Amino acid sequence: MNKLDRMKELAAKITFLANAYYRDAASPASDAEYDALFDELTALELETGVTLPDSPTHRVGGEPLSAFEEHTHIQRLWSLDKVKTYPDLIAWASKCGQSRFEDKKFILEYKFDGLTINLTYDEGRLVYAATRGNGITGEGITAQARTIRSIPLTVPYKGKFEVRGECYMRISVLDELNRTSSEQLKNPRNAAAGAIRNLDPKVTASRRLDFTAYDVGYIEGREFASQLEMLGFLRENGLPVNDFCFAGGINEVIAEIDKAEERRFTLDYDIDGMVIKLNDMALFERLGFTDRFPRGAIAYKFAAQEQTTVVEDVTWEVGRTGKLTPLAHVAPVELMGATVKRATLNNYDDIKRKRVGIGSRVFIRRSNDVIPEILSSADEGEPENPVFPPKKCPYCGAHTEQRGAHIFCTNSLSCTPQITARLAHFASRDAMDIEGFSEKTAELLINETGLRNIPELYELTPQSFHGLAGFGEKRIANILGAIEKSKDCSLASFIFALGIPNVGIKTAKDIAAKFGSIERFREATLDELLSIRDVGATVADGIIDFLNDERLRAQVDRLLELGVKPREAEQSSSPAILAGRTLVVTGTLAHFDRHGIEALIESLGGKAAGSVSRKTSFVVCGENAGSKLDKARELGVPVLTEEEFMELIGK
**Residue of 8, 13, 104, 111 marked catalytic:** 111
Residue 273 · residue 301 · CB < 8 Å: yes
Cα-based distances in Å from 228 to 107, 276, 482, 598: 8, 13, 60, 39
User: 239 near 163, Cβ under 8 Å?
Assistant: yes
Determine contact, residues 325/319, Cβ cutoff 8 Å: yes
| Neighbouring-strand partners of residue 621 | 586, 641
Strand 297-301 and strand 82-83: the pairing is parallel
Burial 429-450 (b: 16+ CB within 10 A, else e): ebbbbbeebeeebbbbbbeebe
What residues have CB less than 8 Å from 53, skipping those under 6 apart? 125, 153, 154
* Alpha-carbon gap, residue 420 to 347, rounded angstroms: 22
Distances (CA, A) of 436 to 468, 482, 488, 572: 15, 8, 17, 33
Report the C-alpha gap between 587 and 625 in whole angstroms: 4
Q: Please report which helix (H) or strand (E) contains residue 443, including its range.
A: helix 439-449
| Burial (Cβ within 10 Å: 0-12, 13-18, ≥19) of residue 66 | exposed
Closest among 328, 326, 358, 352 to 340, alpha carbons compared = 328
CB of 149 closer than 8 Å to CB of 22 = yes
| Residue ranges with strand state E in 169-296 | 210-219, 245-248, 271-278
Tell me the C-alpha to C-alpha distance, in Å, between residue 192 and each of 173, 208, 273, 431, 640.
11, 9, 18, 44, 37
Query: In a 10 Å sphere around its CB, with 0-12 CB exposed, 13-18 middle and 19+ buried, how is residue 378 labelled?
Result: middle
For residue 481, what is the DSSP state? Answer: H
**Quick one: which of 183, 243, 416, 191 has its CA closest to 318?**
416
Which residues on adjacent β-strands are paired with residue 128?
120
Contacts of range 571-577, beta carbons closer than 8 Å, 24 or more positions apart: 571/513, 571/516, 572/513, 572/603, 572/604, 574/603, 574/604, 575/604, 575/605, 576/604, 576/605, 577/604, 577/605, 577/648, 577/649, 577/650
Q: How far apart are CA 374 and CA 468, in angstroms?
A: 40
Specify whether 8 is catalytic.
no
Please check whether residue 330 is in contact with residue 324, taking contact to mean a CB–CB distance below 8 angstroms.
Answer: no
204 CB neighbour count, 10 Å cutoff: 27
Kindly report the number of other CB atoms within 10 A of residue 621's CB atom.
Answer: 21
What are the φ/ψ torsions at residue 618 (nearest 5 degrees)?
Answer: -145, 155
Residues that are catalytic: 111
